[in-house]
Amino acid sequence: MLPLKDEHVALRLVDVCKTFKREKRRKGRWPWQAPHADETATLVRALDHVSLEVRRHEIFGILGPNGSGKSTLVRVVSTLLLPDSGRVEVFGYDVVREEQAVKRLINRVSVEAAFFKKLSAMENLIFGARLYGLPGAEARRRIVAILERLGLDEEATYQPVEDLSRGMQQKVAIARAFLTQPILLLLDEPTTGLDPRSRREVQAFVRELRDTHDATILLTTHDMQEAEQLCDRVAIIDRGRIVASGTPAALKAQVAPPDGAAPTLEDVFLALTGRPLVEWADEEKEVVA
Amino acid sequence: MSTLIREARASYAFVERNINLIKRYWGWEIVWLSYSVANSLAVTYIGAGMGYISGQTVDTQFLIMYLLIGTLVWHFLSVVFDVVSETVAWERWEGTIEYTLMAPISRFTHLVGTTLFSLIYAFFHTAVILAAVVLFFRLDLSGANLGGAALVLLAGSVSFIGLGIVAAILPLLFPERGAQMTHVVQAVLLLVSGIYYPVEVLPDWLQLVSRLSPATYVLRGMRAAILDGAPLVELRATALPLLVLGVVLVPLGVFVFQQAERFAKRTGRLSRDG
Ligand SMILES: Nc1ncnc2c1ncn2[C@@H]1O[C@H](COP(=O)(O)OP(=O)(O)OP(=O)(O)O)[C@@H](O)[C@H]1O
Ligand SMILES: [Mg+2]
């Protein structure tokens, strides 16, 4: 394996910013026509001076509402987006300058299970494994073992992915990432849309990965309970800014709910942003003109 | 060495995956193959019918071969183009492009793997068409230098790979419109490369453009080899520009693709929702 430049800090973000430009065009106007007054491009600040550190072997949660920048953060770490400014390091390797090294250390699972839907789980996973230099026979062996561990039966392994339930697809996605033995695993809402049982299975597997496979895990979620039960430390992100971070217990200790009941992470979010976490609507994202 | 093995395996990943895709979509493959066979036959029959059309005696056998070479080479090039650009467009559509670009392989490996498949596939497709045409026409290949023709096609394939990579950039940046733009490039090649007629009949300025198309040299070389039985030494004149074009186009294609990838990563164009 690649020697690590930094043995102790799995992920370090320093002052990272990422802004997207969104062109607004009215329907029915030709591309060459001069833009209308209300058609000016808007800038969306998805990451706003984000700094954080994830230590090796941690399960670190990014908790935030829709559109708060969770996926953008994960994409910046996984070399799929270039940060506008700031520094991102994976075990000491810079994601922009040492892209190939970083790629060998990480893998990612996204919310939507991205597969060739007509191909079977096995075919999709073999493809993924070969991209990481695994020989076919060994890949096959590992895939069977992992899928079995994740509770996918043999038959499902050879069916087109589109015929699998959402929960099963998500397990195949996790298998794809795990197959390449990343030491930093990025999970973008790994349990969203899963039924309670699949959710618990996935969570158990995440713990197992950390405990038995020398993996560090960064996961995003908007599920309070998940953050609380699964994560060693949590950062709360809102409109691209980290508003608080620490162990779930420490975060909760920061706030005293009005009725004297035990505080939840929900209360923490409310106290820090003045808004509830769950009712946060999509169209309220920060728009910087 | 271990890096090389890894990259070779990764290259093969694309070949294997696309073969798997063909197996799943075999219905479409048959439709497409049938259409291609019919299309090539139709073009070749123009040669057979030329005598009737003009009312004069023409060398039908020569015309048939002339058009057949055109349609086969054109088919070959189109398949390379379509497969490469469609593969990238398809990956964008399924969302797997993010995973492919995240893998620790060089872009060269990725693109060569994709185009390698397209070449294998194009050879297979073209061979099937040729086999079908042979059933309909009596072809006289006694004086043809078939080995020379194969060499010209092989030399041309390198440039076709380069063109294919350039074609892959468009769907990377523009998920829908990219495939359309690829077809525009294809249309220009069809017009200027002298597929069904000698480029000499084109206006001067289009003849200039034709010099940049590798297909022009492939066709010229293959016609010289098959119709005139030109020996290898004479084929050098067409093979050389092909090799030069290939040596320029492949690295250029990879370089431009990398630039496009950087642009996409800066502006957030890779993700489906973005
Ligand atoms: N590729 C992109 N192009 C343009 N804007 C984008 C792109 N990706 C994200 N954004 C915008 O950046 C902001 C943050 O989005 P992001 O996907 O990171 O949020 P999120 O926390 O993952 O939300 P969700 O819970 O919905 O997944 C949003 O306003 C989003 O619309
Ligand atoms: Mg997201």
Task: Say if B151 falls within a structural domain.
Answer: yes
Whether the Cβ atoms of residue B193 and residue B219 lie closer than 8 Å to each other: yes
Binary contact (A123, B262; C-beta < 8 A) = no
**Tell me: the pLDDT tens digits for A92-148?**
999 999 999 999 999 999 988 899 999 999 999 999 999 998 888 999 999 999 999
Structure tokens at A270: 């409310």
Question: Which chain A residue has the Cα nearest residue B261?
Answer: A80
Task: Say if B200 falls within a structural domain.
Answer: yes
A21 lies within 8 A of chain B by CB: yes
Task: Say if B71 falls within a structural domain.
Answer: yes
Task: Say if B54 falls within a structural domain.
Answer: yes
Tell me what pLDDT residue A284 has. Answer: 41
A75 vs B contacts (CB less than 8 Å)? 98, 271
**Tell me: the pLDDT tens digits for A30-88?**
767 776 766 677 889 999 999 999 999 999 999 998 899 999 999 999 999 999 999 99
Question: Which chain B residue has the Cα nearest residue A96?
Answer: B262
Tell me what pLDDT residue A280 has. Answer: 45
Q: Which ligand ends up closest to the CA of A41? A: 1
b (16+ CB within 10 A) / e for A204-226: ebbeebbeeeebbbbbbbbbbeb
* Phi, psi of A59, rounded to the nearest 5 degrees: -105, 110
Structure tokens at A68: 């708060």
Q: Do strands A85-90 and A9-22 pair parallel, antiparallel, or not at all (unpaired)?
A: antiparallel
Number of domains in chain B: 1
Whether the Cβ atoms of residue A178 and residue A185 lie closer than 8 Å to each other: yes
CA distance B264 to B51: 55
Give residue A272's domain range: 59-280
Tell me what pLDDT residue A164 has. Answer: 93
Q: Which ligand ends up closest to the CA of A21? A: 1
Task: Say if A157 falls within a structural domain.
Answer: yes
Of the two residues B108 and A273, the one the predictor is more confident about is B108
Structure tokens at B55: 């009312």
Number of domains in chain A: 1
Give residue B8's domain range: 2-266
Tell me what pLDDT residue A23 has. Answer: 73
Q: Mark the ranges of chain B whose per-residue pLDDT is less than 50.
A: 274
A31 lies within 8 A of chain B by CB: no
Mutate to test the interface with A, among B3, B25, B102 (most CBs of A within 10 A): B102
**Tell me: the pLDDT tens digits for A173-204?**
999 999 999 999 999 999 888 888 888 888 99
Binary contact (B21, A119; C-beta < 8 A) = yes
Binary contact (B17, A123; C-beta < 8 A) = yes
Q: What ipTM was assigned to the predicted interfaces of this complex?
A: 0.88
Q: Is the CB of A221 under 6 A from ligand 1?
A: no
Task: Say if A31 falls within a structural domain.
Answer: no
Q: What is the pTM of this model?
A: 0.88
Task: Say if A54 falls within a structural domain.
Answer: no
B262 lies within 8 A of chain A by CB: yes
Whether the Cβ atoms of residue A216 and residue A57 lie closer than 8 Å to each other: yes
Tell me what pLDDT residue A286 has. Answer: 41
Which helix (H) or strand (E) segment holds residue B248: the answer is helix B232-267
| Mean pLDDT computed over A193-218 | 89
A80 lies within 8 A of chain B by CB: yes
Whether the Cβ atoms of residue B90 and residue B114 lie closer than 8 Å to each other: no
Among protein residues, the one with the nearest Cα to ligand 1's atom 7 is B274
A22 lies within 8 A of chain B by CB: no
Residue to probe by mutation, ligand 1, list A21, A43, A44, most atoms within 8 Å of CB? A44
* pLDDT category of residue A282 using cuts at 50, 70 and 90: very low
A117 lies within 8 A of chain B by CB: yes
Among protein residues, the one with the nearest Cα to ligand 1's atom 25 is A66
Q: Which of A80, A108, A118 sits opposite B270 (nearest CB)?
A: A80
Task: Say if B93 falls within a structural domain.
Answer: yes
| Mean pLDDT computed over A167-177 | 91
CATH number, residue A90:
3.40.50.300
Please give the number of the atom of ligand 1 that sits closest to the Cα of A65. Answer: 25
Tell me what pLDDT residue A287 has. Answer: 41
